[in-house]
Amino acid sequence: MVDSDGNCGFRAIAGLLDLGKNDWVQVRRDLLHELNNHKDEYVILYGSHERVEKLTHILLYFEDSPCFDCWMTMPDMGHLIASFYNVVLYHLSLQQCLTFIHLRSPLVTLADRREIAIGFVNGNHFVHMNAFLEAGHPVLFIAVLCQVHHHPCALEWENAYVSRVQQFKDNIGPSVATRETFDVVDID
């Protein structure tokens, strides 16, 4: 169980990585380290210095019960989590289901791969979802920004999941978002 205190997203990641439930501060520090060490790459990925600064503001909050503007944000944090911890991260919610893959490392064998799943429920709480992962499970769509902004050495990550992504496509409804960003269309 993950405490509902505004740090729940960071607590859930800590738990999924076998850290202590109170190691949410370390997760914030690790993600801040990832963001700062690869800042130029993340400015390109997120599209602006302002977005990187907003994420920095979120990650710099190390107190209990943060206000809403310092909660974990998805899909933004998914890229940082997958890359820093070298995991495949599945993010599930009623509104959005995505897979995040490492942006800078070559594919590792299936036996060496670590997959973790986080769910966003009730519009305000992150929970562990690993209990629902079974061998060969369908794979959520790979985040578009992972596909576009990965290093050449990381290309095979996406290819390793093609058939399992197709399984997922065959089972979802039309109201589930399968991209991080959307084009705004003026219908006037």
Whether the per-residue pLDDT at 178 is higher than 50: the answer is: yes
The per-residue pLDDT for range 54-102, each reduced to its tens digit, is: 999 999 988 887 778 888 888 899 999 999 999 999 898 888 888 898 8
Question: Rounded to whole angstroms, how far apart are CA atoms 47 and 77?
Answer: 14
pLDDT of residue 40: 94
Contact between residue 150 and residue 157 where contact means Cβ atoms under 8 Å apart: yes
pLDDT of residue 185: 45
CATH class of 8-169: alpha beta
pLDDT of residue 2: 64
Is the whole-model pTM more than 0.85? Answer: no
- HEC readout, the chain: CCCCCCCHHHHHHHHHCCCCCCCHHHHHHHHHHHHHHCHHHHHHHHCCHHHHHHHHHHHCCCCCCCCHHHCCCCCHHHHHHHHHHCCEEEEECCCEEEEECCCCCCCCCHHHCCEEEEEEECCCEEEECHHHCCCCCCCCCECHHHHHHCCHHHHHHHHCCHHHHHHHHCCCCCCCECCCCCCCCCCC
- The domain locations on the chain are 8-169
